Amino acid sequence: MRRHPLTLIVKKGKVRKDGTSIVFLQYCYSDKQRPLLDTGVAIPPAYWNKKSRKISDSLPAEYGNVEALETILTTKLRKAEDMINEALKRKVSPVEFLKINFPLADNWLLSQLKENKDELNVYSQFDNYKEERRTEVSKATLNVIGMVKHHLKSFEKYSGKAITFDSFDFDFYREFVKFLTYDYVLLTRKEITKGLRVNSIGKTIKWLKAFLRNRMAKKIIPYIDLTLYLGMEEDTDAIYLNWKEISAIYRLDLSSTPEMEHVRDEFILGCLTGFRFSDYSEVAPEEIRDGMLFVKQQKTTDRVVVPLRPEALAILRKYNMQMPPVNNVNFNCWIKEVAKLAEINEPIKFSYKRGNVIIEEIRPKYAWVTSHTCRRSFCTNEFLDGTPITLIMAISGHKTEKAFRKYIKADALEKALMIQKIWKDRPSWQRAG
């Protein structure tokens, strides 16, 4: 990548009333374009060494600590280099990019904060960002964004250091991830459990980056290099129910327990449409036309049309084409009881990583059933029944076949089915030899 020199200078004749001159960063882009960038550091010009481009060790104490000032200058130099590299990557003018982003430096931020304490507070900005996204994302995603703010506050309390927009460097990322992995104390637990799962940490980093990039795009904060804020993801274990198990749930007589019957019906509706809980739990009469369901998905805002099976249409008619409201927490409690009554009790072992420890849990299959199980069941069952992946994706919302196949572990399923077919066509091993 092409690089242009950045030089620290003190301009002749630029002495202020207090006898100090600003130490500038000069970006030598070309003979005609050599913009000066204010570092916020000012010293008497006599204490600036032109050859070494450093502050003299004999600088009087009233002008600041030499080591601390040099650290500031080095940090500013690196920030400017990061901005130039980012501009070159984006194929935009580095000069213009610096002019827009570099002035939003530490001293500028501090002066703004004095004028309006809340304007550049990280948490106030997080609240603003969450409110801005309210009409664009699902309630579940808004909750995730809210948890990012909670995680930041927990880290701030743990580290004893206030988090500002200047905090978000690579060292912060590294320490924040370490905290979430080993020291974060989970809420709503009877026992003390420390450390989040890998995917929970990954979601936190993903939305923290989205928040910071949004604030940069709006020119509320200066450019921050997030290149090393790496994503984290662990292949998750999750069950799906086959058609036989779904049928067993569908045929249960739950008339004596209306709450369970309602949850069961919503679950079946989800298994037959492939919608997310936020979509199938809030179906409205105007979305049903000519045996089809026309829905704008809350998470992706995509508009999808799904043909309704007779059983799905019967469930909707049962509730006058509008499902009664139920929150996700209550749904997940009741649906486990429903699946238990349907005798879906095969032992299932799942494992996940928390910190550097692999945790294994064995539970009856019904104990793993959640509101998301119906969506995964729809996708997996349709795949196994031979429905083209592109058609399933049109409903599921997956943007790539790779993501879809990973979601339902399609590659493993296909290989298992191929082996199963080979075994059926082959003589029994007991008759071999």
Quote the pLDDT of residue 250: 95
Surface-to-core class of residue 431, CB atoms within 10 Å of its CB (0-12 exposed, 13-18 middle, 19+ buried): exposed
Mean pLDDT across 237-265: 91
Q: State pLDDT tens for residues 402-423.
A: 888 888 877 777 778 778 878 7
Q: What is the pTM of this model?
A: 0.56
> Residue 60: is its pLDDT beyond 80?
yes
* Residue closest to 150 by CA, chosen among 110, 109, 207: 207
Q: State pLDDT tens for residues 372-382.
A: 899 899 999 99
Q: Which residues of the chain form CATH 1.10.443.10? A: 243-423
**Looking at 43-47, 164-168, 283-287, 359-363, which range is the least confident one?**
283-287
Q: In Å, what is the CA distance from 382 to each residue of 239, 306, 388?
A: 15, 13, 8
Residue 53 has which token pair?
Answer: 């481009």
Question: Which ranges of 19-93 does DSSP label H, i.e. alpha helix?
Answer: 66-90
* Residue closest to 306 by CA, chosen among 331, 326, 328, 276: 276
CATH code reported for the domain at 243-423: 1.10.443.10
HSE, CB side, 13 Å, CA atoms: give it for residue 156.
Answer: 14
> Residue 206: is its pLDDT beyond 90?
yes
